[in-house]
Amino acid sequence: MRLVSRSGIRLAALLAAVTSSSVLLHANDWLTWRGPLNTGVSLEHYKKAKLSEKPAWTYDSHGRGTPVVVDGLLFSFGYHGEKEELAECLTCMDAKTGKKKWEVSIKDFISDTVYNRYSIGSPCVDPETKCVYLLTAYGVFGCWTFEGKELWRQSLMEKIGRMTFPNSKVGCPVIEGDLVIVRGITSNWGADGPAADRFYAFDKENGELVWSTMPGESPPKDSSFSTPVLETRDGKRVFYAGTGCGNIVAVNARNGKPLWRHKMSKGGVNSTPLLYKNTIIMTHGEENVDTADKGRLIAVKLPEHFDKEQMVFDPEVNKDAWLANEKWRIHLRSETSSPVLYEGHIVMVDDDGNMSSVNADTGEKEWEIQVAAHNIHSSPLVIDGLVYFITEQAGITVVKPGKDKAEIVQKIKLEGTGLAQPAVANGMLFVHTQAKFYAFKITNSGITKDKAPEVEMPKAGAPAALQIIPAEFVVAPGGKSSFRLRSVDANGFPVAEVKKASWETFIPPTAKVKAKIETAKFNDANELVADADAKPAAGAFKATADGGIFGTVRGRVLPPPPIKQDFEKFELTEEVPADAAGNAAYKMAYPPLPWIGARFKFQVMANPTPDNKLVGNNVLGKSFDRLLFQRATVFLGTEAMSNYTVQADVMTDGNRRVKSDVGVINQRYLIQLKGNANELEISSNFERLKRTAPFKVEAMKWYTLKTKVTVDADNVNGTVSAKVWEQGQPEPDAWTLEAKVNPVHLQGSPGIFGFSPQHQKRVYLDNVLVTPNK
């Protein structure tokens, strides 16, 4: 993470922002993809309005997301270029003229995004700090001022193990007081190693992690880009969202505590929720939990008060209570589109391209009209009583709803595929397609705007806990990490700054690996200081302040290169039972605790012989217990590392017909042996950068793989070099494969990689070595 400003918000200002009696929303602007009400409805009204047939201006950008508008500025998330030149971009434009003010380009790395599925998400803006926030599918998360100055940027893939998927769904960040909240499926370290759909809150000013939470179930079935929607309930700030494990969840937005969940699908839930009269309304497109058909629109009752423990409504837990928690249901299938709420009516477009209106009180369908041949992602928008919808192939369709029927009143052809919801601000309609960005004027003889509602904010109560920021740390030997402590009340609202606390090591009761950090200690300034000779370690600390309030923080000690791991110090004590495929029982150990994403992807085990008998020295082998991890990426260091060489011994199980892929990661490039293809490959995203050289890969034979990244003097271009040879043989002088890259990634964590399709053949690594370049 790069920090330009780390000053933080003064506590007095923070308390005023978070706990003031009310917060006025911005009626004139479009700050998030669902608009000022988070319902997909504009507050603007017009006299004699008509959407212009021709665009007021266009901009050369491909995109699939909704732009945001504030203070006359428009921010869009799109992409430029093709193949190796493709880069995503955050673009700031003048909303009236389309003139570009600034643009930030971001290159994909080590993702499995396919078919140019980029920018499936939206930025959000914070009018208080005059900042814009953006998250990409491969985990680049950053904050920029309205003038384009980068305040901070971090790689959530390398920092918390954010996973990528071919659908590349991202969603939209959400602002809550001093926090910016994002979500994604992650596989971090320790207790957060198992893959789960998690939510993360960061300090919006400096990017420090404040809390993380897993309110659903693990493992998830799919990724989700359901954007959290906030309200005040039971004295708490609560957000609601769908999850990749098929739940609707409610979470305390101030401290991340899971409050409530309702199971609605056997797959992921992608729609953004609607709040209406003490119910939450959501749709999904996967198999229902109680029937074999797919898709449902439901209204679920929300409790007046939340219990102390998470309230769970799941048919496998209590079917009667689960059914009673529904107010109504209707069979409408929409996998990735979100409905809108307008004057007591739910308007949605299903996967077959039918637009329907449903009574929000009763769940009765009021009318239906065909607006497209089919639909994916695109969501309707309501402006002054008309429904605007971007069809995948045709363009803009405007629908006039009635009591029991609707009619199409206007169609405008657009270039390129449309998968996004449009946005509106000050009489301008903004649309992003995969061909270009459009701005249309809504001609009128006058504009009025409804007053935005005021959000009532609870006042903070008595101190009940300590909140330690950042909630996770990385410290190098001889280095130190600083922390801010504040007391918070029972609902997570900040009360006061805390200067003095006592610190002790802490082992969570549920920890699989009972580890402590013994080579780092806290001083009186709440700084964690690591010993100069500290070894790699991971663990947690507990801080206790006056009154007995306490909090915990977890983190890792990570030395810079050289990094060496031969796995010989691990004791194989964990039993792995025989499986249905005929594999015999064996013993293993969990992988190095500080490694990001290693748990449940890899395990320390005995070196296998050609007939798969586990004997000899310890090695790292691919785990087979979770199919979600058939493609496994693990990071050994920090995102700031650079200028190093990675070497490892690698091997794949299999035969002449079926083998797997195994490799290492160097500065955001993947260097791997492709077993079935019999190739050495350098790639980042394989559709963006891919270079190969033939190399015959024999199953159950160890090879040594070595790679480095060289950055040219211009700090723009570079070369990724790789070589491979049979283990035990002399290292060849020449590189087997070299890839010229423009631009080259300047930094990134070293790592390892394994891909065992359908968990058929295991891969192995040993003698992992990361050394600084001379």
271-321 confidence digits (pLDDT tens): 999 999 999 999 999 999 999 999 999 999 999 999 999 999 999 999 999
At 337 the pLDDT is: 96
Task: Tell me the CA distances in angstroms from 231 to 125, 204, 457, 733, one per residue in order.
Answer: 18, 19, 9, 63
SS3 710: strand
In this predicted model, what pLDDT tens digit does every residue of 413-433 receive, in sequence order? 999 999 999 999 999 999 999
At 347 the pLDDT is: 98
Angle made by CA atoms 62, 65, 67, in degrees to the nearest 5? 95
Can you tell me the mean pLDDT for 139-160?
97
Q: Which residue, 374, 394, 336, is CA-closest to 167?
A: 336
pLDDT band of 327, cuts 50, 70, 90:
very high
In this predicted model, what pLDDT tens digit does every residue of 359-413 receive, in sequence order? 999 999 999 999 999 999 999 999 999 999 999 887 999 999 999 999 999 999 9
* pLDDT at 501 exceeding the cut of 60: yes
Neighbours of 656 (CB within 10 A): 9
* pLDDT at 6 exceeding the cut of 90: no
Neighbours of 25 (CB within 10 A): 17
* pLDDT at 21 exceeding the cut of 50: no
Can you tell me the mean pLDDT for 181-193?
95
pLDDT band of 116, cuts 50, 70, 90:
confident
Average the pLDDT over each of 13-17, 653-657, 758-762 and give the range with the smallest value. Answer: 13-17
The DSSP annotation for 88-142 comes to: EEEEEEETTT--EEEEEEE---S----TT---EE--EEETTTTEEEEE-TT-EEE
At 3 the pLDDT is: 39
* pLDDT at 761 exceeding the cut of 80: yes
* pLDDT at 704 exceeding the cut of 70: yes
Can you tell me the mean pLDDT for 20-40?
76
Strand-pairing partners, residue 551, are 543
* pLDDT at 10 exceeding the cut of 90: no
User: 751-764 burial string, b = 16+ CB within 10 Å, else e?
Assistant: bbbbbbeebebbbb
* pLDDT at 627 exceeding the cut of 80: no
Percent of the chain with pLDDT over 70: 96
pLDDT band of 83, cuts 50, 70, 90:
confident
What gap in Å lies between CA 739 and CA 720, rounded to an integer? 5
At 452 the pLDDT is: 86
* pLDDT at 125 exceeding the cut of 90: yes
Beta strands in 350-501 (DSSP E): 354-359, 365-370, 381-383, 386-390, 395-401, 406-413, 423-425, 428-432, 437-443, 447-449, 454-456, 465-469, 472-475, 480-482, 484-488, 494-498
pLDDT band of 8, cuts 50, 70, 90:
very low
pLDDT band of 584, cuts 50, 70, 90:
confident
Q: Is the bond preceding 559 in cis, omega lying within 30 degrees of 0?
A: no
Can you tell me the mean pLDDT for 28-54?
94
* pLDDT at 749 exceeding the cut of 60: yes
In this predicted model, what pLDDT tens digit does every residue of 334-372 receive, in sequence order? 999 999 999 999 999 999 999 999 999 999 999 999 999
What gap in Å lies between CA 294 and CA 607, rounded to an integer? 46
Give, rounded to a whole angstrom, the gap between the first and last alpha carbons of the chain: 25
- Any idea what DSSP says for residue 548? G
pLDDT band of 436, cuts 50, 70, 90:
very high
Average the pLDDT over each of 323-327, 533-537, 615-619 and give the range with the smallest value. Answer: 615-619
Cβ neighbours for 145, distance < 8 A, ≥ 6 positions apart: 130, 131, 132, 151
Can you tell me the mean pLDDT for 532-556?
96
Residue 569 gets the label, from left (phi > 0), alpha (psi -120 to 50) or beta, of alpha
* pLDDT at 2 exceeding the cut of 70: no
What gap in Å lies between CA 161 and CA 171, rounded to an integer? 18
At 176 the pLDDT is: 97
Q: Which residue, 171, 124, 127, is CA-closest to 143?
A: 124
Neighbours of 68 (CB within 10 A): 26
* pLDDT at 189 exceeding the cut of 80: yes
Can you tell me the mean pLDDT for 224-239?
97
pLDDT band of 332, cuts 50, 70, 90:
very high
Sheet holding 494-498, edge to edge: 465-469, 484-488, 494-498
At 612 the pLDDT is: 64
Average the pLDDT over each of 185-189, 630-634, 686-690 and give the range with the smallest value. Answer: 686-690
What gap in Å lies between CA 637 and CA 562, rounded to an integer? 11
